Each structure stands twice: as structure tokens, then as C-alpha cells.
A and B are shown apart, each in its own frame.
Chain A
Amino acid sequence: MTNRTGKLIEGATGKWEVVIGLEVHAQVLSKAKLFSGAATAFGAAPNAQVSLVDAAMPGMLPVINEFCVEQAIRTGLGLNAKINLVSVFDRKNYFYPDLPAGYQISQYKQPIVGEGVVLVDMPNGDTIEVGIERLHLEQDAGKSSHDMHPSLSFVDLNRSGIALMEIVSRPDLRSGEEAAAYLKKLRTILRYLGTCDGNMDEGSMRADVNVSVRKPGAEYGTRCEIKNVNSMRFVQIAAEYEARRQIDLIEGGGKVEQETRLFDSRTGETRTMRSKEEAHDYRYFPDPDLLPLEFEQALVDRIKASLPELPDARKQRYVSQFGLSPYDAGVLVSDAETAAYYEEVAKGRDPKIAANWVTGDLFAMLNRLNLSITQSPVSAANLGALIDLIADNTISGRIAKDVFQIMVETRDAPGAIVEARGLRQVTDTSAIEAAIDAVIAANPDKVAEVAAKPKMAGWFVGQVMQKTGGKANPAVVNQLLAKKLNLPG
């Protein structure tokens, strides 16, 4: 890893380096749970999606959902990671009312996916390399609600048994911003792969953030783990708050204690959840109800062959094949829907012009209306048609901006808008000539000025465009003006 010295934080005693690692829980995109056939849809009535296995009824046994295994392999491949052909499910034992069996089935010593790497582009143009330590499969717990009754707690087991991938990074992140960018990149990869929907507001993805601080070059400091942070922004805020807290603590003569902390999204602060002494002894041991998970390399190869083009490769292609800037390419590939939209617009057209429209007017409009690209009132086909109208001189670039605005409001196709509103560009030289002649005749003083100062021609262009309602072809206007005003061609 490069020493990213620019990320250092100033403290009272000098500069500090923040060290961050993330444990991301990503819900496997699957119709059924990891060890039962119960459904996984979000938003069902409480306890409507609970099988006998999920409720840990006596004598019930888990049976692995092979699709979830394939999703984990797919994800591992997307993280450039080693796939372990033999892995083991263990029981993690603890008591809690939303954990019906009294243990969570997880993978402890032998995970399904080993070491990998994720490349993260930062806004300043740097690319950082984040090591993946492992990915393992495990069950989610249910959900406890303590605020629905004065003396009772309620438990919803719909989530109980849903498949999660825990993706553990190396402590390779050096700022809250990097942590958030890594999480965003991870989400992009998972969405490309179709292995997790990445909907953090529905709990499909959440992160435990491990933070420590040290003087540059020193050994790692004692870390604190901030549990269940559920947005990119909060990851950044939590990491930054925690780093500052630890620096202040150490510089004030204190010592960081290893502990689990909670992030309060209202105050942006972290606070103690449980100390090391209170940490659970999970009594991990291999789950005797399940055989070791074994599969052939052929399965891995088959899944590998079916992988889609991933964001890094796609970005590379946009740069080399389309000639886009790395920045624009990075923006366009940041989610699969945007990339698909862009490629539809660019197909058979100038890819750079397509990129300008998508990252420019389209993004600005979506931002303003707070819409995702899949909700865009302007379809990729219509945006493409608009670009075609400019290319074949049917409308000018300036008129195109107006047409785009009308497309946003009406969702109509650009061709229909141009026809209905008579916005077709005037290329008929006699009409343009007439307009030029009229302007010249009405403004003899300007004609005299332009003879001395050829740059004044712009004023004439403006006047002619105004007279033609903006529909005159600017190239034709320029050409005829030059001739009539005897300007240097």
C-alpha cells in the first residue's frame, strides 16, 4: 500500500494516521433464505415469512440453499478473490430473543471466499487498493422492537435466516471519505453481479466500521468497532468522529479501550455499546447438522463464465474504446443502470457527445428532480434521437437544450416536439439572407464598427438568430454574414 500522507489528521501533538477496516453485511439477492425455503421479500407483515426452521422449532434441520452458495461464489469472483472449494459452517452461540435457535449459523475458520482486492477511485484521481480478507456466508437474525408496548418487546422473524455475505476488508482505508468510497464501490460491484440489491435504507447492506489511529509509521493502535452503520454518509461521519475522539483521548493522556460502539445518526457521535470484558464468548464449533460445503472447480468456472462485465473493466473500455476521460468513464460505470443507459445512448453515435449529454444535462436534471436514472422522464432512446437531430442539422445545439427541457416536461419524443413546435433549423439560404439584409439595413453604424473590429460579427449573429427565432443554422449564418460584411473568411 502506498502511504497516503495527504490523509493525515492534525492533532495537538502532531499528525495522526487513521486506520479503517470495514465488515460489510450484504444481503444475498435470493428468493429463499440460506437454510430454509421461506420467502425473503422486503416489507411483508411481521412473521409472515417464517418457516419451522427459521423459528427453530424442535427437531428442525437446516438445508443449504445452493443458489445462495452460487451468489457467494459469484461475489467472490467479482472481488478478484480466492474461492475455497471446501468451507465449513459453524455455530455462533449467543442468547437473544430475535435469534431463535440460540446460535447463528456462520462460517468462522473456513469461509467460502478468501483473499481478494477492490480498486476504489477517489475524486482527486487517486486509485486506492483495498484488500479483502474474506467473505463468508451467514444467517441474519430477526428484528426486536422495544418501543411498541410499555412492558413487552416484539420480535419479527421475517429476517431470521436470510442469507448474508459478510465481506471483511483489510485495514487499508485511511479516511472516512475512503471508507465511504470503498463501500460505494463494493455496492456497485454487488449490483453489477446481481448478488445484493445494495438498498441500505432497507437494511440490505450495512457496515461495521473498525477504526484506530496511530502516529505515521507506528504499530496499529487499539481499534473500536462501530456496529451497523447503514449509509455511506454515516460511515464517513462515524469514522471521522471516532478518529477524532481517539486522537483527543490519547492526546489528553487517555487510552483507547477495545470495545464495540454504536453510531447515533442524529448527533453524528459514537458511544460505548459493550466493552471487551462484556464481549460474548460465542463458543464457535462446526455445525453438526451440516456437512462441509464442497463443490467442484467446474461450478466456479461456470459461474466465472457467466459474470457480467464489471465496473473496472467497463471503465477501462470506455476510456480506450470511447476515448472518454477516466473521470467521466468512472462516473458512467458507477452503477449498472447508468452504464446501460449511456451505452444505449452512445450506440451508433459519437460516444463523447453521448457522455456529455448523460453526465451533463441528464444528470443535472435527475439531480434537480431527485430521480434515479431508471425513473428518468427522458428515455435513452429519446436522448439518442435528440443527439441525432443535432447531428443531421435538423436543430441547433441551442434549440436542443430547449427541446430537452420540453422532453423532461412532456416525455415526448424529440422529433415530434421539433415538428409540432416548428423548431426545425432554417438552412434555406434565401430566408437567412433576407434576415441578414434586414439587420444590415437597419444598423449602418454597426456595419461600420464591424469593418474595424471583425469580432463584432457576433452581434450580427445574435440579431439574425433572434430574427429567425433561433432556428437559423448557425454555420450558414456565419458563412453568409462573412460574405456580406466582407469579413475575412
Chain B
Amino acid sequence: MSDLATLTLAGARDALRRKKISSRELTTSFIKEVEGARGLNAFVTETPELALDMATRADARLSRGEAGILEGVPLGIKDLFCTKGVKTTAGSKILGNFVPTYESTVTRQMFDAGAVMLGKLNMDEFAMGSSNETSAWGPVISPWQRKGSNTPLVPGGSSGGSAAAVSARLCLGATGTDTGGSIRQPAAVAGITGIKPTYGRCSRWGIVAFASSLDQAGPMAHTVRDCAIMLQAMSGHDPKDSTSAPIAVPDFEAAIGKGVKGMRVGIPKEYRLDGMPAEIEALWAQGIAWMKDAGAEIVDVSLPHTKYALPAYYIVAPAEASSNLARYDGVRYGLRVNGDDVIDLYEKSRAAGFGREVQRRILIGTYVLSAGYYDAYYLRAQKIRTLIARDFEQAFEKCDMLLTPTSPSPAFGIGEKTDDPISMYLNDVFTVTVNLAGLPGISVPAGVNNEGLPLGLQLIGRAFDEATLFRAGQVIEDAAAFKARPDSWWK
């Protein structure tokens, strides 16, 4: 099919409903794309037969006029979502052969809405990483390359497979999860759109946990509208998740097109980092100009505790992870390496099953929760978290949303930062605050740097006000008219 290069999820949805195309045809085309792009290592499990079966059923519903929100639309699913009968590894050897007997709430809702699953997408192990290099199944190669260079670049992370699959047009959209920026940062460096909704908007039931108080599922797709459509299907209260919000889900797509005239856009001064690359600085200024042109009022705001966010995040997230990952002990499921006794079995299984970054974070998390250190680290980090949330509340008294860069740098080369965890953690500097405060944040592609690599702008909204982000995100999308595409070098 010739128009896959420009087809959006919304476009496919409309074409399917108007019977201009069948889901089977569309799915068949995408299966071929997926097979042709194995060099990117974006998919860890391909499910072509399942996809065709789902497409056939979608076509039947379409022909009966019973189309759901995502009827017949081929998508990729991050390998952190448990999918019934389909291997779910979380990018880890310790779950290398794990096949869930249950479907995560988010994927069940999407499949109930008619979505077609092409397969499971590569990711940083247990979503711990910003480059997709910690995956047990090897790094994902970004479809993007620097102008005149074939150095392999990272697609961002942890939802790196999702970002690469969407930007290489292997699917119309993908699920991601975002604990500290894992949807927004890869979306930004891969030139696509991704939204981390408000904490509690999407159920976490059936998503392999990294840091429970921060994890949130969200969509990654080509356009703001595509994300709105996907999030519609993913959202909603789930009694099986105590932290899921019993709040009605508005019509997200309906918010698009309303513009930002008269809205106040806050610019947090603390996000202007020392040594920030000029291209990021320029992009941000451009974004401010676009919002002004669209009739928004620009307001300077302060988020004074921003500088403590990254350290607080790297205490809270590993602390929760150290406990969440304790269940992977080789006893009931997943990898087991037998030992002399049960302690030996634990040690051998976990040493063989977890990669270095995961082990590092388990150790950090165990340390900060230990007797004698809890108050100095965990408790203090939680206090900072409260202060950060209050910063945002105070800022939102002056504005309706915040505009910031998504990531401090464009995509970097594979292996460039793997020996320097601190530099890797800095990728999250603009995104972790949003997770710590539980707010929604969207990244929209806004331009490319002088090497031709995509850059993204982030909009941060009030809790449960994703609608404003879709509305304003569309303004950026329209103004940026982002048309850059990676060369299809992998084909």
C-alpha cells in the first residue's frame, strides 16, 4: 500500500469506517513492514497470525457497523503490558519465557475497542533506561540517523521499541509507559507524539510494575489526534487498581481544534539549564513564539524545587523498584538457576536474570530504604515530591499549562552514554517532575536540529486536564508542520 508513509491512525480509522480499506489489508501491509524492519530490533515478539485473526474480526464488526474507537487499527504493544497467551518479558531475561494467562486492563480495553496487535515492542529492561540499551534482547536502533552519518542512534527509552516502531511506520501507534519520561523522551527524539496522562487515568493492572507511584501508561503515535484517540480507549477507572481514578473520561478528540486563544502558557524559569544546547534553547523560544502567535498569553512562572527533582526521582523510583522486583525470585515463574539452597537459588537466578542497570537500581533502592537511611533518603525524597507538586499547583494559579523542552538533547549514539549512568539519568531532567507530581505531559515534535534529528516540546497540564494538552499540542503540531521522516535505510 503506497500511502503507509503518510497514513495516520485517525486517517486509517476513517478509511476503515468508510470501507475504503479493510483491516486485513491494512494489517497485512504492516506485518510486511514489521518483517522488513527487523534490523531495528523494535519488536521482540511478532504476532502476525494473531493480528490477522484480530483484523478479520474487526472487519466483521466494521461491516456490521459496530466499530469501536480503534476498530481494525494495527498497533504495537510495549512488552511491559501483560498480554494473554503472548510472551511478556519486560525486556528482561528473568521473564524470558513468561506467558501471562491474563490481559492487562489497558490492552484489554484497546482490544475491546477493536485494536489489532502486531506484536510486542522492545524496551529497556523493566523500563529502566533512557536509550533502550538495557534491554536483554539488545538495543533498538533508531530509524533516524544524523545527516551524512550511519552511526546507529538510540530511539530513547524506555519505550524505545514503541518510538522506533511508530517513527519507522511499522504500526499506526503504540502503547508506552512513562515512569520518569519513558513515553515523552523517546517520542521527542524519534519525532513522534506521546502523552503521559495523569497518574490514575489509565489502570496499571497487568502492567509489569517498575515504580508503582510513578508508572503510567500512555499512547505514542504520529499526531496529537492519534494520541487522543488511543488515550480515549486506554483510559478509565479500574476497580482492580486502587490508584486508578474514579473520574469520567472526557472526549479527548473533541478538544482538538479549539486553539489556545486567551489561554495562559507558563514558562518555568528553572528549566533554563546551564549549558543547555543552543538548539534546545532555540526550539523552546520557537515554541513560545508559536503559542503567542496563536493568541496565548505567555507567563513567567517559577518551580523552585525543580533542581531536587532528579535526585528525588532516583531515590523514589529505585526504592519502589527494589520491592516490586522482589517477586522475580526464580521460585514460581520466570528464569530459575538452581542452587545449593534457597538463598543460593535466589542469588543465582537474580544474578543471571537481571541486567546491570536493573541490579544497580535494586541496590540503590535497597540502600535508601535500609534502617538508618530511610529518613535521610526516602522520607526526604517524599517531602521533596510534595514540594514539587506544590510548585506546580502554585504555577497553575497563574497559567493553564506549562511549555518546556522535552529532552535536553537529541538522540545520541548507541553506547555513547552506557558507561555514565549519571549522564544517562540527566535525559529525564525535564520529564521526571511531571511524574513526581502525577501530572499529564505531552511531547510534540517541533523541529529538527542541524544534523536533522528530531526535537520535541513538552506541554504540562493540570491533573486530569489532558484535554488542554491535546488542544495546545495541536497548535504546536500545526505551527511546526513537522514533515521530517527518517530515510528508510533499514529496508
Task: Flag if A288 contacts B212 (CB, 8 Å).
Answer: yes
Q: Does chain A have a CB within 8 A of B319?
A: yes
Q: B209, B331, B332: which has the most chain A beta carbons within 10 Å?
A: B331
For window 39-96 of A, CB contacts with B under 8 Å fall at 52, 55-64, 91, 93, 95
Determine how close the nearest CB of chain B comes to the CB of A478; give it in whole angstroms: 78
Q: Measured between alpha carbons, how far is A62 from B212 in the docked complex, in Å? A: 12
Q: B90 — which chain A residues lie within 8 A by C-beta?
A: 58
For window 260-294 of A, CB contacts with B under 8 Å fall at 281, 283-285, 288-291
Q: Measured between alpha carbons, how far is A93 from B323 in the docked complex, in Å? A: 7
Q: Does chain B have a CB within 8 A of A103?
A: yes
For window 355-380 of B, CB contacts with A under 8 Å fall at 366, 369-371, 374, 378
Q: A288 — which chain B residues lie within 8 A by C-beta?
A: 211-213, 243, 320
For window 436-451 of B, CB contacts with A under 8 Å fall at none
Q: Measured between alpha carbons, how far is A97 from B332 in the docked complex, in Å? A: 9
Determine how close the nearest CB of chain A comes to the CB of B167; give it in whole angstroms: 27
Determine how close the nearest CB of chain B comes to the CB of A289; give it in whole angstroms: 5
Task: Flag if B326 contacts A103 (CB, 8 Å).
Answer: yes
Known contacts A58-B88, A59-B104; decide if A283 and B369 are in contact (CB<8 Å): yes
14 pairs from A and B in contact (CB 8 Å cutoff): A58-B100, A61-B241, A63-B239, A64-B242, A95-B326, A97-B331, A97-B342, A100-B327, A100-B331, A102-B326, A102-B327, A281-B371, A283-B322, A284-B369
Determine how close the nearest CB of chain B comes to the CB of A124; give it in whole angstroms: 44
Task: Flag if B100 contacts A57 (CB, 8 Å).
Answer: yes
Task: Flag if B326 contacts A93 (CB, 8 Å).
Answer: yes
For window 306-345 of B, CB contacts with A under 8 Å fall at 319-320, 322-323, 325-327, 329, 331-333, 342-343
Interface size class of A (residues with CB under 8 A): 20 to 34
| Beyond known contacts A91-B323, A95-B329: 16 more, CB 8 A cutoff | A56-B327, A58-B95, A58-B98, A59-B82, A59-B208, A61-B240, A61-B242, A63-B239, A93-B322, A93-B326, A95-B343, A100-B327, A102-B326, A283-B374, A285-B369, A289-B243
Q: Measured between alpha carbons, how far is A290 from B323 in the docked complex, in Å? A: 14
Out of A62, A281, A285, which one reaches B323, CB within 8 Å? A285
Determine how close the nearest CB of chain A comes to the CB of B375; give it in whole angstroms: 11
Of B132-140, B149-157, B199-207, B388-396, the one contacting chain A is: B199-207
Q: Measured between alpha carbons, how far is A343 from B374 in the docked complex, in Å? A: 56
Q: A60, A63, A101, A283: which has the most chain B beta carbons within 10 Å?
A: A283
Interface size class of B (residues with CB under 8 A): 35 or more
Known contacts A52-B102, A55-B332, A285-B378; decide if A61 and B205 are in contact (CB<8 Å): yes
Known contacts A59-B208, A62-B242; decide if A101 and B374 are in contact (CB<8 Å): no
Task: Flag if B369 contacts A93 (CB, 8 Å).
Answer: yes
For window 196-224 of B, CB contacts with A under 8 Å fall at 204-209, 211-213
Q: A153 — which chain B residues lie within 8 A by C-beta?
A: 342
Main secondary structure of the interface of A (DSSP, over half): loop
Q: Does chain B have a CB within 8 A of A8?
A: no
Determine how close the nearest CB of chain B comes to the CB of A88; give it in whole angstroms: 12
Q: Does chain A have a CB within 8 A of B346?
A: yes
Task: Flag if A285 contacts B374 (CB, 8 Å).
Answer: yes
Q: Does chain B have a CB within 8 A of A155?
A: yes
Q: B323 — which chain A residues lie within 8 A by C-beta?
A: 91, 93, 102-103, 283, 285
Q: B319 — which chain A residues lie within 8 A by C-beta?
A: 285
Known contacts A281-B371, A288-B320; decide if A57 and B205 are in contact (CB<8 Å): no
Q: Measured between alpha carbons, how far is A388 from B284 in the docked complex, in Å? A: 97
Q: B208 — which chain A residues lie within 8 A by C-beta?
A: 58-59
Q: Measured between alpha carbons, how far is A281 from B371 in the docked complex, in Å? A: 6
Q: A61 — which chain B residues lie within 8 A by C-beta?
A: 204-205, 240-242
Question: Closest residue of chain B to A291, judged by CB?
Answer: B242
Question: Closest residue of chain A to B98, judged by CB?
Answer: A58
